[in-house]
Amino acid sequence: MSLSKWRVKASRQVLRDRWIAVRADDCVTEDGVEISPYYVFDYPDWVHVVALDSQNRVLLIRQYRHGSGAISIELPAGAIDPADADPLAAGARELLEETGFGGTMSLSGVASPNPATHSNRIHTVVARNVTPVGERRVDPTERTEPFFVSIEEAVRLATSGEMVAAIQVASLLSALLDMGALELSRDGSPSRD
Amino acid sequence: MSLSKWRVKASRQVLRDRWIAVRADDCVTEDGVEISPYYVFDYPDWVHVVALDSQNRVLLIRQYRHGSGAISIELPAGAIDPADADPLAAGARELLEETGFGGTMSLSGVASPNPATHSNRIHTVVARNVTPVGERRVDPTERTEPFFVSIEEAVRLATSGEMVAAIQVASLLSALLDMGALELSRDGSPSRD
């Protein structure tokens, strides 16, 4: 058995506004099965910022999220704007807007929020040695409260579900692995059942 | 500054089929800013299965995903059906359907795919000592190819972007931390800039 792409017989825009863009594709699988329509979310790319200060504390925010209907603990993050030169610039902009902090930016990784439904990508950016550099710009639709935690506490928040956003847990844990703050256990095997 | 929920003045269903359920809420933020409509995805809850055999190899699948338009390396996963007794039963069913394997199931954690847009939750389930237990049920809209990798290779796939689905990277890395296969580095600090 091999895997191949679905054929798209027709495609149309269903929803588009500031918040969402949904496309409906009439698809045929490799086995000839029709899936009409299959909806795809055409968001712009997003940037997630894993920001650490000189003591390696992680900068997080609290924000109301209407999908879950609850206050969420998150990484500074947002959509990459057409005016952003690249994901690093977008990350620096979002970090400043949401926290007032800035630092030395580098790219950690690229992923998809959910390749089943989303066509856009997440760029995970690391900001090191962050310091206060300006005024937060509090968007009235995006009120955020920044706070610092230790790496150990950030990992606890991520694995306990208190940092609830899976797409951000992925960025945080991947970046911590990338920078060597997390690692395979000594023998690379589970120590607990 | 405090954070509080948005008030919903009106709510209506925009899209609903086998694949998607989108709700449009007319919202007012705590600052009195109107956001009308704000779209929310009302999917059923999902289950992700981190499955390990007796040698601690991780069972993954390859699957075409139409959002990204590419073959994706993923965890066995799917929506929790009304007929599933609980997330563990749903995980066992998805694992069997997609891979033909079964094992000892336990719950690792619960998260949200993206609390900004999704109202549903992801239940991450661990399956230990998995063995072949039955026939795969190949859904023609969900052709999957199962394969095993070491934990080290699974972590490499997750952090390199080769396992592209951020929601699944979160489940994999969180479960590996939960079972002690990943841990904070010796001094809990980054070793690389």
Write the pLDDT tens digit of every residue in B108-132: 999 999 999 999 999 999 999 999 9
pLDDT in tens, B68-98: 999 999 999 999 999 999 999 999 999 999 9
Q: What is the DSSP letter of B162?
A: S
pLDDT of residue A137: 83
* Main-chain phi, psi angles of A182, to 5 degrees: -120, 150
Residue B140, phi then psi, degrees to nearest 5: -60, -20
Q: Write the DSSP assignment of B1-63 as a string of letters.
A: ----PPEEEEEEEEEESSS-EEEEEEEE-TT--EEEEEEEE-PPPEEEEEEB-TT--EEEEEE
Spacing of C-alpha B97 from chain mean position: 16
Pair type for strands A101-111 and A21-28: unpaired
* A38·B70 Cβ contact <8 A: no
Check if B178 contacts A (Cβ < 8 Å). Answer: yes
Angle at A183 between CA A179 and CA A184, to 5 degrees: 150
d(CA B124, CA A86): 33
Asked if residues A144 and A98 have their Cβ atoms less than 8 Å apart, the reply is yes
In contact, A169 and B174? CB cutoff 8 Å: yes
Tens of pLDDT along B96-110? 999 999 999 999 999
Q: Give mean pLDDT, residues B163-185.
A: 97
A15–chain B Cβ distance below 8 A for any pair: yes
Q: Which of residues 76-105 of B touch A (CB under 8 A)?
A: none
User: Which residue is closest to A159 within chain B, CA to CA?
Assistant: B174
Q: Is A150 on the interface with B (CB under 8 A)?
A: yes
Q: What are the tokens at B28?
A: 């007012």
B64:A161 CB<8 A = no
Q: How far apart are CA B186 and CA B190, in angstroms?
A: 10
**DSSP, res A3:** -
Q: Is the dihedral of CA B133, B139, B145, B151 positive or negative?
A: negative
Residues facing residue B74 across a β-bridge: B61
Cross-chain Cβ contact A56/B189 below 8 Å: yes
What are the CA-CA distances from residue A162 to residues A48, A173, A182, B156, B187 (Å)? 18, 14, 19, 25, 24
User: What is the spatial distance between Cα A114 and Cα A103, in angstroms, rounded to a whole number?
Assistant: 29
Q: Which of B3, B65, B117 sits opposite A71 (nearest CB)?
A: B3
What one-letter code names the amino acid at B39?
Y
The amino acid occupying position A45 is D
Name which of A43, A8, A21, A1 is nearest B142 in CA terms.
A1
A189–B contact, CB cutoff 8 A: yes
CB < 8 Å to A78, chain B = none
pLDDT (tens digit, 0 to 9) for every residue of chain A, 193 residues total? 568 899 999 999 998 887 788 999 999 998 889 998 999 999 999 999 999 999 999 999 999 999 999 999 999 999 999 999 999 999 999 999 999 999 999 999 999 999 999 999 999 999 999 999 988 887 777 788 999 999 999 999 999 999 999 999 999 999 999 999 999 997 768 887 7
